Structure 1
Amino acid sequence: MSIDWTTAAWFLPFVAPITVWVAWSDMASMKIPNKAVLALLAVFVVVGLVALPFGEYLWRYAHFGVVLAIGFVLSAIGGVGAGDAKYAAAMAPFIARPDFMPFMFLLAATVIAAFILHRLARASAIRQRFETWESWTRREFPMGFALAPALLFYLLIGFFTG
């Protein structure tokens, strides 16, 4: 991965609690709050000024625009939920352009792991502990449970290997 460890170090303390909030909320209510999306974007807007060279910082807004446009189309045709599309767009500026494909592999692995963990938890006693969670009874998968950790893992990998 090409993310620098200092960039990851700047973003991690602010992004980590938002990722927990998003994953938890999506499992509990099958919704990613707009406030969480805006909070993540605000972290990039503010911390990105310090964490990234200014030219790169500005270019990363293009990542947001491209992913937002793709997410809008996918949401319109029923491919993804609107919250998932907005959250993915807010995540996009954190990902360095050369890391696009490695991040996609990381995201794919995270989706598979999150799906398996969710289905195992749904079939176990954990479900009784959080019996009001909507994701236990819905056919759809709470994609925030995979998107949020993928961003966290990306930053952690950058921190420890960058």
Structure 2
Amino acid sequence: MLALPDHAALAFLPFALPVCFWVAWSDMARMKIPNLAVLALMGLFLLVGPLVLPLPAWGWAWMHFAVVLLAGFVLNLVGALGAGDAKFSAAAAPFVAPADAGIVLYLLATVTLAAFVTHRAARAVPAIRGRVAHWESWHRTRDFPMGMPLAGTLAAYLALAAAGA
């Protein structure tokens, strides 16, 4: 059972899903995660969080943002992660209950593998590739749009928590 209360996840989910879709789409299309999407996710936690989480837990969750942002900054410096990926990860971090961090990492690994295989398979199918031929991610053979699995992980986590998993 996930530690994030189901009522909190249910309150976050309808607002977070469009942002997650926006992030995944934008990263596949332009290999960039818009700063506005990151700010929208942070704004969601800022506005909805205190209504559905105990105030001390909501306040401490901002520390998750700082820690993940710092880790993402270091990973970006060494070339392991894009800046947009680091910022989105940091903005998503407050949504994750501390007790769920390990589960979310496993979920991220699973979603990343599935996203990678799906993206590469779709890229190989001319009918699919032709529908969105302008996507930058089709043409960058060494890069992968991590916004897709990062957003998918947040969406899946919130959906699982909302379902009481």
Place the TM-score, normalised by the shorter chain, in its bin: over 0.9
CA distance in 2, matches of 1:160, 1:40: 21
CA distance in 1, matches of 2:23, 2:60: 26
What's the offset of the Cα at 1:81? 0.3
Which residue of the partner structure matches residue 152 of structure 1?
A: 155
What letter matches 1:144 in structure 2?
Answer: G
What's the offset of the Cα at 1:77? 1.1
What's the offset of the Cα at 1:49? 1.0
Q: Deviations over 1:30-52 (max 9, x none)?
A: 00000000000000000101111
Which residue of the partner structure matches residue 138 of structure 2?
A: 136
* 3-state DSSP of counterpart to 2:14: helix
What letter matches 2:147 in structure 1?
Answer: G
Structure 1, unaligned runs of 5 or more = none
What's the offset of the Cα at 1:111? 0.2
Q: Is 2:39 the partner of 1:43?
A: no
Which residue of the partner structure matches residue 91 of structure 1?
A: 92
Q: CA RMSD in A?
A: 0.7
What letter matches 1:40 in structure 2?
Answer: L
* 3-state DSSP of counterpart to 2:163: helix
Aligned length: 162
Alignment of 1:49-60 (within 5 A): 49-60=50-61
Percent identity among equivalent residues?
51
What's the offset of the Cα at 1:7? 0.6
* 3-state DSSP of counterpart to 2:41: helix
CA distance in 2, matches of 1:51, 1:21: 24
What letter matches 2:149 in structure 1?
Answer: A
Give every structure 1 segment of 4 or more consecutive aligned residues whose post-TM-superposition deviation is greater than 2 Å.
none
CA distance in 2, matches of 1:50, 1:114: 33
CA distance in 1, matches of 2:116, 2:98: 27
Which residue of the partner structure matches residue 112 of structure 2?
A: 111
Which residue of the partner structure matches residue 64 of structure 1?
A: 65
